[in-house]
Structure 1
Amino acid sequence: MSATFLPPFARLGRIERYVLVQQGRSLAVALAIVAALVMLIDFVEISRGVGSDVDLSALRILGLMLLKSPAVIVQLLPFVFLFGTLAAFVGLNRRSELIAMRAAGVSAWRFVLPAAGAAFVIGVLTVTVLAPIASSADGLFQRERQRLSGSVLGGDGQAIWLREGDENRQTVIRAERQDRASGRLLGVTFFIYTTDPDGRRTVSERIQAASATLSAGKWRLLDAVGAQPGERQVRYATLDLLSSLADEEAFERFARPQSTPFWSLPAQITRIEEAGFSSTAYRLRLQQQLAIPLMFAAMSILAAAFSLRLMRLGDLARMIASAVVLGFAFFFVNQASAAFGSAQVIPPILAAWLPPVLTALAAFTLLFYTEDG
């Protein structure tokens, strides 16, 4: 069979395949350890949190844990690649296999780049398959936790906030509660804002009503009282207000960015912006998901570069400690960058891509220095 039609793994040399197998085994061990720790912590947290409010069996807590833990595990996957790849190459080095490869004239790029490429491919699979499943499971967990907590707290006692409008007119709606049987909002207040040519928004009218029902593109208000600035109140037995909200989507709460699957993020961003809310957190989440493959590859190269230096320096403990410290430094930079992005101090695209790009540059710099001096 021609080499052109062979799968990529089969086209690799024996050395590359051997290194990839060793990396895969170490990644599996690192993933198992991280997953076990995360699930243990989540089990205890759910037992203390939801389990303290509702009498839940151990099997039910286990089910909630299995819904919550995947999202946390996906978030910690960069550490899996850092520690897993580091363990693989340290093992090769301690068995003198790396020394033999280098003595035979094999360049470090020959087995480091395939490892980084495998990490990149796994990152793509994580973004397109694993992360959406984990996000959907996290959404199910959040809804189930709210349902269980609602059964204790009374559920419908929380205020409801809605927003609609366009660039010229905005309406903020607050309701004390919702009658889910009829879909009516009870104890409703409408704050209507208008935008002047200078872009400043001012309150043009405030309307309070005993109830409001959304149907066929309009709000039907009962027993309403409206007032404009500087004018007397006007009472209405019924009052109709045009609405841009769809009936089936009006009362759906926006899922958390972490609970929104990757494939649903663009539509969710559009929907949030059309409702007049800020989509910064969701845009940041989308860019962070797109940066995952680069992050995994950068972590793999960084770990391999530290392992290669062991041959020349002979200081195993110090180099491993340096790699661990650098990994946690990356985590700190990633969290700080995400916080700046959420606060709109820096653009979301910069906040998401800056940590993996910096990690990749540091990894390539260290690898160039190790390989070429």
Structure 2
Amino acid sequence: MRLQRYVLTVVATRILGAAVILMSILQILDLLEVTTDILDRGLGMGGVLYYAALRAPRLVEQIAPISVLAGGLFAFSQLARESAVIAMRAAGISAYRIVAMAAPAALAVMLLDFACAQVIAPRTDPILNAWWQATTPAADRKAEGPRSFRVGDDLVIAGASTPDGRALTAVKIYRRDKTSRLIERIEASSATLGAKGWELRDPVTARFTGERTDTVSASQMTWTSPLRPVDVQALFSDNPAPSAGSARRALLNGGTDRPASYYETRLLGAFAGPFGALIMLLLSAPVALANFRSSQGAVLLTTGLASGLIFLVADGLLSALGESGAISPLLAVWGGPVIFGALAITALVSLEG
């Protein structure tokens, strides 16, 4: 038990140290771009800290895997240099068990990554966007411009939305039959979410039957739609990052402005992404078996670092291909972790043998 606590402590502290350093660097770089704007708006240091706090979940999501890689390389190289690994193996403890002792640290990072990406960030992103728009000087505000998206079989164009996503302006709804032929167009000055659906104000409905067009006006009507405020916020966001929940709603006829492959990849990636931390731990593990009295230590350190960076690039490339529909979303999401995990395990087995 003491040995397991020692190995876990060494790995966890190195991962934490790497995370703090990487988080600080990313936070500083991010603040360098916006601090001047925040101060010019008269928000002071309180505004800077508020922005940094709301941005933190997305930054944690970015640094999680690379922190495990860097921390794992430092920890395992330290254990190897101090001959701790040699002593453990002489006592009958295999390299696989040493990795298992360090695994809880990677699992903790996985849980933190998932919580930030799927629970915390989807709540802080709309708050940050609303705060940023509300504090932007009137002279610097840019018109949102109309956004087009699909809700089920309906095609929708909306001019703008409120920050809470509960109201739309200049709404046009195009309805089609099963053959995708236009059969109805509804134009309304605004749409507000109510108890029974979206309440359209001053709607004008045009129904198309062959070459005939019938127009009907009303003061109000209800548009029953699965569209929700969180979907509207994502559709009108400058940098949308769908969570598993929003991607699932999009696939179930929620508001979408991208192909189904994009949301399928995002949905699968929400659960596969945190496993990147575990893959990074496996890629760094062979360093524990390195002989630092020769060049093997430097070679394995360099190989582990390069493999981790290549994994990040390959995983991002596969995800982009999956989002565009070029390859299967399942292959796009799990291809990188499976391939690099297998390579890491093969290297560990070879060195252990």
Same fold (TM over 0.5): yes
SS of match in other structure, 2:177: strand
Question: Quick one: which of 169, 174, 185 aligns to 2:157?
Answer: 174
Deviations 1:338-366 (A, max 9, x none): 10121122233332222222221111100
Distance 1:67-1:279 versus aligned 2 partners, 3 A rule: farther
- Determine whether 1:102 maps to 2:93: no
Shift in alpha-carbon separation, 1:143–1:359, aligned structure 2, 3 A: farther
Q: Which residue of structure 2 lines up, in the alignment, with residue 31 of structure 1?
A: 19
- Over the matched positions of the two proteins, sequence identity in percent amounts to 25
In the alignment of these two chains, the number of paired residues is 346
Counterpart code for 1:42: D
Post-superposition Cα deviations, 1:267-323, rounded to whole Å, max 9, x if no partner, equal 652355323635544443332232245322221122121331335854433332222
Going from structure 1 to structure 2, the CA distance change for 1:146 and 1:36 (only over 3 Å counts) comes to: same
The answer for the alignment partner of 1:43 in structure 2 is 31
Whichever residue aligns with residue 243 of structure 1, its letter is W
Residue of structure 1 in register with 2:175 after alignment: 192
- For the structure 1 residues 329 and 158, does the alpha-carbon distance in structure 2 shift closer, same or farther, using more than 3 Å as the test? same
Q: CA deviation at 1:251?
A: 8.2
CA positional deviation for 1:160 = 4.9
Equivalent residue for 1:228, pick from 208, 225, 228: 208
Q: What letter corresponds to residue 345 of structure 2 in structure 1?
A: F
- 1:119 matched to 2:106? The reply is yes
Give, in whole Å, the separation in 2 of the partners of 1:132 and 1:157. 27
| SS of match in other structure, 2:325 | coil
Letter in 2 for 1:306: V
Unaligned runs of 5+ in 1: 1-11
**Which of 281, 285, 292 in structure 2 is aligned with 1:300?**
281
Measure the CA separation in 2 of the matches of 1:219 and 1:258. 26
Aligned-residue offset at 1:142? 2.9
Tell me what 2:308 maps to.
Answer: 327
Aligned mates of 2:199, 2:181 — CA distance in 1: 22
Q: Which amino acid in 2 is paired with 1:238?
A: A
Task: Show the counterpart of 1:244.
Answer: 224
Matched residue, 2:252: 273
- Partners in 2 of 1:179 and 1:369 — Cα distance? 59
Distance 1:27 1:367 in 2: 20
How far 1:193 moved relative to its partner?
A: 2.0
Q: Which piece of structure 1 moves more, 250-259 or 102-111?
A: 250-259
Matched residue SS, 1:114: helix
CA displacement at 1:185 relative to structure 2: 5.9
Aligned-partner residue type, residue 249 of structure 2: T
* Structure 2 residue corresponding to 1:136, chosen from 123, 131, 140: 123
| Cα distance in 1 between the residues matched to 2:63 and 2:181 | 46
Taking the aligned partners of 1:154 and 1:258, their CA distance within structure 2 comes to 19
| Residue 82 (structure 1) aligned to one of 66, 69, 86 | 69
SS in 2 for 1:158: coil
**1:204 aligned onto 2:183:** yes
2: CA distance, partners of 1:273 / 1:297: 31
Residue 81 of structure 1 and its aligned partner are, at CA, apart by 0.8
Q: Cα gap change, 1:320/1:243 in structure 2, threshold over 3 Å: closer, same or farther?
A: same
Match of 1:287 in 2: 268
* Paired amino acid for 1:71: R
Whichever residue aligns with residue 203 of structure 1, its letter is L
RMSD after superposition = 3.7
Check conservation: 1:162, 1:172, Cα contact below 8 A. yes
Helix, strand or coil: the match of 1:346? coil
What TM-score do the two structures reach when normalised by structure 1?
0.76
Q: Which has the larger radius of gyration?
A: 1
Q: Following the alignment from structure 1 to structure 2, what is the Cα–Cα distance between the partners of residues 343 and 331?
A: 19
Distance (Å, rounded) in 2 between the aligned partners of 1:309 and 1:258: 43
Q: Which residue of 1 aligns with 2:135?
A: 148
